Amino acid sequence: MKKHCNLLVIDDEQVIIDSICKIASLENLSVESALLGSDAFEKISQTDFDLIICDIMLPELDGFQILNELYRRNIESPVIMTTGYSTIENAVKSLYLGAIDFIPKPFTIDEMIALINRGMRYSKLLEAKRNEASNVLLVPCPARYFRLGYSCWMNIQLDGSVIIGATDFFIKTVEPIKQVELINCGETLRQASACAKFINCDEHSHPLYSVLSGNIKERNEKVIKLPELIEKDPYFNGWLYRIIPTELECETKLLIPCSSDRA
């Protein structure tokens, strides 16, 4: 039988491993680490991890190859990607390949604590989803929607505008939501850049990455006054923005059709 550990950190910089280990210890979590992808998979073969934090730029296997190998092996431990080479392309690719989040280096203690807490809640949701006796209800995106990873969804309107919001899976990793911060109308969003911030009752701040690039034409003022609306109805009344997309055709290719969630 495999042993159990909360967290696996994969990074070729020992200083980063040490930093994350210290932060995780503040949350009373157990941690193992690996400097190489090959070492990581040796540990994964022996241990069940609740969460994996993985650097993109690694010798031998890079972070994207590790994500692909985890998928091939049917290992469902949620993965958070880190990198010192933060680009929109890296963020999009990470989320497309199955990472639940992406954080650039250097990161703050508060940012990593919030991310680790969200990752651990994500892991518990996956376990509950596998347990048929669980009363946890995860509402999938409507079939006609598209999503960026498991975080942000979009729905194209008849007039060519696009409505975007947060998936129920994302919301359940940050709720109860105390405050929602939105960008002002007239500003521009970029795909995989932070478009909103959710602050929960633990005072942790969680960014939501935009599903598309575009100009904000309208934002949902109701969710600012009533954040619980997002938790109750994330795909309809709990939407966040209506935008005019600027790169719809090419960026949609990097999204996951929500109809596949029902396959």
Quick one: 51 and 153 in the same domain?
Answer: no
Tell whether 140 is covered by a domain: no
- The residue ranges of the chain whose pLDDT is under 50 are none
Quick one: 45 and 71 in the same domain?
Answer: yes
Quick one: 7 and 121 in the same domain?
Answer: yes
Domain that residue 106 falls in: 3-130
Tell whether 138 is covered by a domain: no
**What are the tokens at 202?**
């633990």
Q: Which pLDDT score, from 0 to 100, does residue 105 have?
A: 87
For the chain, the domain total comes to: 2
pTM value is 0.91
Quick one: 159 and 121 in the same domain?
Answer: no
Tell whether 136 is covered by a domain: no
Quick one: 126 and 159 in the same domain?
Answer: no
Q: Which pLDDT score, from 0 to 100, does residue 44 have?
A: 95
Quick one: 188 and 254 in the same domain?
Answer: yes
Quick one: 7 and 126 in the same domain?
Answer: yes
Listed residues 87, 106, 130: the one ending a domain: 130
Quick one: 231 and 118 in the same domain?
Answer: no
Quick one: 169 and 251 in the same domain?
Answer: yes
> CATH number for the domain including 234?
2.40.50.100
> CATH number for the domain including 70?
3.40.50.2300
Q: Which pLDDT score, from 0 to 100, does residue 132 have?
A: 61
Quick one: 85 and 7 in the same domain?
Answer: yes
* Long-range pairs, 82-87, Cβ under 8 A, ≥24: 82/11, 82/16, 82/53, 82/54, 82/55, 82/56, 82/107, 83/55, 83/56, 83/57, 84/57, 85/56, 85/57
Q: pLDDT by residue (tens digit) across 196-250?
A: 999 998 899 999 999 999 999 999 999 999 999 999 999 999 999 999 999 999 9
Q: Which pLDDT score, from 0 to 100, does residue 215 have?
A: 98
Quick one: 191 and 125 in the same domain?
Answer: no
Distance in angstroms (rounded) separating the CA atoms of residues 68 and 134: 29
